[in-house]
Amino acid sequence: MTDHTLEQSEQKPSIDDRSSPSSISSAVGVSLAPGVATAVAMWIVWWIAHLPAVQAPGGPFIAILALTMVVSLALWGRWAGRRSGPIAGVGGGAVAALLNLLLLGSRLVEQPTHVDQMESAAGAVRPDATVFVAGFLAVSAVAGIFAGWAGSRMTHREAPPSPRDTLTALAIAGIVAFLPLLVVGGAVTSTESGMAVPDAFTTYGAPSFLFPLSLMAGEWGSPKIFLEHTHRLFGSLVGLITIIVAIWTFAIDRRWMARGLAIAVFGLVTTQGVLGALRVSENSPALAFLHGIFGQGVFASAVVLASVVHYDPRDGVPSLPAKTVRAARIGYRVGLAALVVVAIQLALGAASRHFGASHATWTHAGWGFITAGTVAIAGALLASADRDTRQGRGLRRVGRGLTHVVGLQFLLGWVVIWQVTQDESKRPILESVELASATPVDVFEATVATAHQAIGAGILALATLAVVCAARWQRAPSSADPT
């Protein structure tokens, strides 16, 4: 062992490596990511099942929701290993159940048939709500024990995940939580539902978590209220998950960069929530525009955080093939350019959506050629890294992902342009008192526009990840390329 290696081994570790399965910290660590990921999966199922075009019957819906929970926790039980799988199951089940209370609240209150009744019905909790919540938490924990144990039998690995692995998994689960938030937010804009709820911090006078389901879905529900209100709920979920990620980052990672990023992401999420509330209280298209593009940047920041906590500096900077270092170095520079052109493209798209200006629409279309070309070049450069090292394979995956996704986005963009040219009139964003006269939602048009917006956010996140990864390896010592 060299003196340099001895010096490195004696340095204070950046990651708390205590991973005894009997410790409280280990039990918490293997529970957080499973709980967060399971809750997000269940929220997505809940949202799809209650879409106006779906309206799944109660029995099948509950069965699918329960199956989602069990399958998710079983997979996470396998991830946690034979010794910690049951802990991941019961702990993850408890965390998921607590997060799911945000949705369950819509069932714990009286169910009026019209928003006019909310003046007297706001916050009217059912008498059996306490028993219902206790039973829900108990069933979730029992299901978690079973699922975690079953999952742990699917692997021969005994050791639990390391603290760094638990933090990385939690950060990735946090990224996944952003995806439905972005999709639902895009659907709100695509269906002109941004002002369907008149109050910024409550929903028709009720605490947001206690707004009756009957006024969102079913016979008396309003599609626009459903989309706007569930967007707020997903925003609350992401906010809570961001707090959990920040706390666990401080508990596990001692690096100032990781902790600073965790605080920054939380601050950005909070700012985004405030922008959303101000957009409603001021009924401002300008704030709607800012809220839309800022949210995509917040998503990208969560990707950066996950990348940082995943990387352990104690691993050192390995010697990489010259082609990989070259791909990282050039890819970093082109990737920065891609980030700039993508940000401009997203701003133009948001201007077109929120202001309905034809010049913004056609500038967005023209700039799309520059964006697609720049992103494709950055992706191709990163994809030229080697296949033999972990770092090279990572760069290749990010590069190929960029190339494929930007191609899909370019084609989808022309479908959106075609839709816009069919009806160039700007449809008004109806306020809550006008919902009765709202025209039916064009499901195909809304789906295509929302997908285009969400994929754009994904490209920004991928480009950000590409720059972070390329920056990390562009200064690595290079070795001769394998023959």
Q: Which residues are paired to 109 by β-bridges?
A: 125
Percent of the chain residues past pLDDT 70, beyond the cut:
91
- The answer to whether 88 and 80 are in contact (CB under 8 A) is yes
- What contacts 456, CB < 8 A, 6 or more positions away? 296, 342, 345, 346, 349, 409
**Is the confidence at residue 136, as pLDDT, over 60?**
yes
Quote the CA–CA distance of 250 and 262 in Å, as a whole number: 8
Query: Looking at residue 427, what is its pLDDT?
Result: 65
**Is the confidence at residue 384, as pLDDT, over 70?**
yes
Geometric angle at alpha carbon 211, from 228 and 55, rounded to 5°: 65
Query: Looking at residue 156, what is its pLDDT?
Result: 86
Query: Looking at residue 18, what is its pLDDT?
Result: 42
Least confident window among 16-20, 187-191, 193-197, 334-338: 16-20
State the chain's mean pLDDT as an integer: 88
- Measured CA distances, 143 to 79, 161, 328 (Å): 17, 22, 46
Nearest to 93 by CA among 53, 129, 57, 141: 141
Choice between 181 and 362, residue whose per-residue pLDDT is larger: 181
Quote the CA–CA distance of 241 and 173 in Å, as a whole number: 9
Q: What is the 3-state secondary structure (H, E, C) of the chain?
A: CCHHHHHHHHCCCCECCCCCCCCHHHHHHHHHHHHHHHHHHHHHHHHHHCCCCCCCCHHHHHHHHHHHHHHHHHHHHHHHHHHHHHHHHHHHHHHHHHHHHHHHHHHCECCCCCHHHHHHHCCCECCCHHHHHHHHHHHHHHHHHHHHHHHHCCCCCCCCCCHHHHHHHHHHHHHHHHHHHHHHHHHHHHCCCCCCCCCCCCECCECHHHCCHHHCCCCCCCHHHHHHHHHHHHHHHHHHHHHHHHHHHHHHECCHHHHHHHHHHHHHHHHHHHHHHHHHHHCCHHHHHHHHHHHHHHHHHHHHHHHHHHCCHHHCCCCEEHHHHHHHHHHHHHHHHHHHHHHHHHHHHHHHHHHCCHHHHHHHHHHHHHHHHHHHHHHHHHCCCCCCCHHHHHHHHHHHHHHHHHHHHHHHHHHHHHHHHHCCCCCCCCCHHHHHHCCCCCHHHHHHHHHHHHHHHHHHHHHHHHHHHHHHHCCCCEECCCC
**Is the confidence at residue 179, as pLDDT, over 50?**
yes
What does the pLDDT look like over 73-116, one tens digit per residue? 999 999 999 999 999 999 999 999 999 999 999 999 988 888 87
Rg (CA), the chain: 24
Query: Looking at residue 428, what is its pLDDT?
Result: 65
Specify the amino acid at residue 230.
T
Longest CA–CA span in the chain (Å) reads: 77
pLDDT (mean) for 175-192: 94
Query: Looking at residue 449, what is its pLDDT?
Result: 92
CB burial of residue 323 (10 Å; 0-12, 13-18, 19+): middle
What does the pLDDT look like over 9-60, one tens digit per residue? 334 455 555 444 447 778 899 999 999 999 999 999 999 999 988 888 888 8
Query: Looking at residue 86, what is its pLDDT?
Result: 94
What does the pLDDT look like over 55-81, one tens digit per residue? 888 888 999 999 999 999 999 999 999
Query: Looking at residue 22, what is its pLDDT?
Result: 43
Q: Which residues are paired to 253 by β-bridges?
A: 15
Least confident window among 22-26, 254-258, 389-393: 22-26
CB burial of residue 114 (10 Å; 0-12, 13-18, 19+): exposed
**Is the confidence at residue 480, as pLDDT, over 80?**
no
**Is the confidence at residue 160, as pLDDT, over 60?**
yes
Backbone angles phi, psi at 81, to 5 degrees: 95, 170
**Is the confidence at residue 259, as pLDDT, over 60?**
yes
Query: Looking at residue 326, what is its pLDDT?
Result: 94
Percent of the chain residues past pLDDT 90, beyond the cut:
64
- The answer to whether 97 and 63 are in contact (CB under 8 A) is no
Residue 125 CB neighbour total at 10 angstroms: 12
